[in-house]
Structure 1
């Protein structure tokens, strides 16, 4: 099946609201190095037009990767996994490794996104050598952070939140016109706030409104996470290195294994086991 048909098959399973959410994510940076597609290019775009725009912007392989990543962010893990497997199955199979040894050319990566949790990942090897494991705390992008906060509000509270946006909230911040928020859903509201205030001020405005609505826990939570995220680039990933000798019965890795938790994710009690002497494990935890 061609990539365009594979993507269309995936998008056709989405409801109208979910498809609109996917388009909203496309207007943001989903993967490093992939520029967002301007919202105006996706306005009123059908599923087929959206796919054409994705392939024009990224190429076929990246379009699949971006779609998979967005589906995961939308917590539609079943569709993400199905698309990923079908795309991988359609590609030419890579040459098989030796039956007694596997030598990956790239680091092994475990990634938990948004509200996901990695519990007790296990790395088993009987090969002598070095394994470097780096834990990176990645920050959620500000628009996603605000959207995650607004998703916790009920319909009535969200309407109140929008009403507050039409009133003076912070000195120097002009209220958003009622007409700009009429019939706006949560994603449209977040986009309008970012356009009007910028990311850092949008967080401050959201926190202030939540306090006025007596949602102090949500305000404090957003203030802690959003205050350190707004206006900052994502933290660099430390380089990982490893040296290992091949073994007839072990797993030989040419690079470090990386376990990364993103957003509100959690990594609990990683287990690394080895049976050979001379194996050293370096664990770096970066905040």
Structure 2
């Protein structure tokens, strides 16, 4: 089955409001490493036109990846996995290399250097340990990235219908100094996604978070306000990645860059590839990584 047909069948399984939610993710710029599709291209687009726009903007393979990612953000994990499996089944299999054993005593030619690529914020950990290594390796990876539009949308999704109406009313009133109220006409019949888009267009991401937190406090929803502020602050403060320090190695164990392997990190990816020489019996090496 061709990719356009596969994507079209996936979108045809969505209800109308679900399809509109998917388009909101596509044009609102909430996907890492993929440029948003302009709103004018999607506003009144049918499912067929949306498929065409995705393939035009991203190409077939990336259009599938984007659709899977959006479905997961919409918490439609079943359709996402179904699309992933159907696409993988339709791709031609990579021909396997023939393994010929000419002689049991003949040494196999050395394998070429491994090439590993980290994409979309992934992390590659490729330690090369030479010598005894009876100690323990403890690797903890915490990934806490959440962009402001998704964070705001998740916050508003937790409000009941009446609470959301009160929230919209507050948006049309003065909230913070320097922030003009959003006109009531722009908020009539607005859903949660519309409200997020209007706030970000009017205030920018950081101020939109502050306005939302202030309105939640006025509504006596202090827990939601503090949760939003902490989640947004956590995503900002953890954005830096420290470079590995070579001065921390002891005289009997050096930390050097690995030779041979070709590693490529893209986007917000991180590659950790220590090369440890010497005996490390009884030594515990702890690597704590925080990638935002």
Task: State the SS of the aligned residue for 2:200.
Answer: helix
Q: CA 1:36–1:92 in structure 2 vs 1: closer, same or farther (change >3 Å)? A: same
Residue 37 (structure 1) aligns with: 37
| The one of 187, 204, 214 aligned to 1:198 | 204
Q: Does the CA-based 8 Å contact 1:68-1:81 persist in structure 2?
A: yes
Query: Does residue 15 of structure 1 match 2:9?
Result: no
1:155-194 → structure 2 map (5 Å cutoff): 155-194=161-200
Aligned residue in 1 for 2:91 = 91
Work out the CA distance in 1 between the residues paired with 2:168 and 2:129: 60
Q: 2:116 aligns with which of 103, 106, 131?
A: 106
User: Against the structure 1 CA distance between its residues 98 and 166, is the aligned structure 2 distance closer, same or farther, given a 3 Å change threshold?
Assistant: farther
Of structures 1 and 2, the larger Rg is shown by 2
Equivalent position of 1:6 in the other structure: 6
Give 1:283's aligned residue. 287
Question: How far apart, in 1, do the equivalents of 2:7 and 2:239 lie?
Answer: 29
Alignment of 1:206-225 (within 5 A): 206-225=212-231
Match of 2:27 in 1: 27
- For structure 1, which runs of at least 5 residues remain unmatched after alignment? 113-126, 245-252, 257-276
Cα distance, 1:243 vs structure 2: 6.8
Mapping of 1:42-81 within 5 angstroms? 42-81=42-81
Deviation (angstroms), 1:226: 1.6
- Distance in 1 of aligned mates of 2:239 and 2:14: 30
- In structure 2, what is the Cα distance between the partners aligned to 1:12 and 1:105? 39
**1:137: how far off?**
2.5
Partner of 1:21, secondary structure, is: helix
Deviation of 1:105 (Å) = 4.9
Task: Figure out how many residues of one structure are paired with residues of the other and give that number.
Answer: 244
Say what the alpha-carbon RMSD is for the aligned residues.
3.8
Q: Which residue of 1 aligns with 2:248?
A: none
For 2:47 and 2:196, how far apart are their aligned partners in 1?
23
Contact (CA 8 Å) 1:30, 1:66: kept in 2 or not? Answer: no
Contact 1:134 1:238 in 2 (8 A): no
- Whether contact under 8 Å (1:243, 1:254) holds in the other structure is no
Answer yes or no: is the 8 Å Cα contact 1:133–1:284 preserved in 2. Answer: yes
- C-alpha distance in 1 between matches for 2:227 and 2:81: 31
Q: CA deviation at 1:139?
A: 1.9
Give the TM-score of the pair, scaled to structure 1: 0.72
* CA separation of 1:65 and 1:104: change in aligned 2, threshold 3 A: farther
Give the 3 Å change call, closer, same or farther, for CA 173–222 of structure 1 in structure 2.
same
The runs of at least 4 aligned residues of structure 1 exceeding 6 Å deviation read 127-132, 241-244, 253-256, 277-281
Q: SS of the residue aligned with 1:106? A: strand
- Aligned-pair distance for 1:34? 1.4
Task: Tell whether the 8 Å contact from 1:136 to 1:286 is kept in structure 2 after alignment.
Answer: yes
The offset of 1:278, in angstroms, is 8.5
State the TM-score, normalizing by the size of structure 2. Answer: 0.71
Over residues 21-48 of structure 1, what are the superposed CA-to-partner deviations in whole Å (9 max), with x where a residue is unaligned?
1101101334433111111221111111
Who is 1:148 aligned against?
Answer: 154
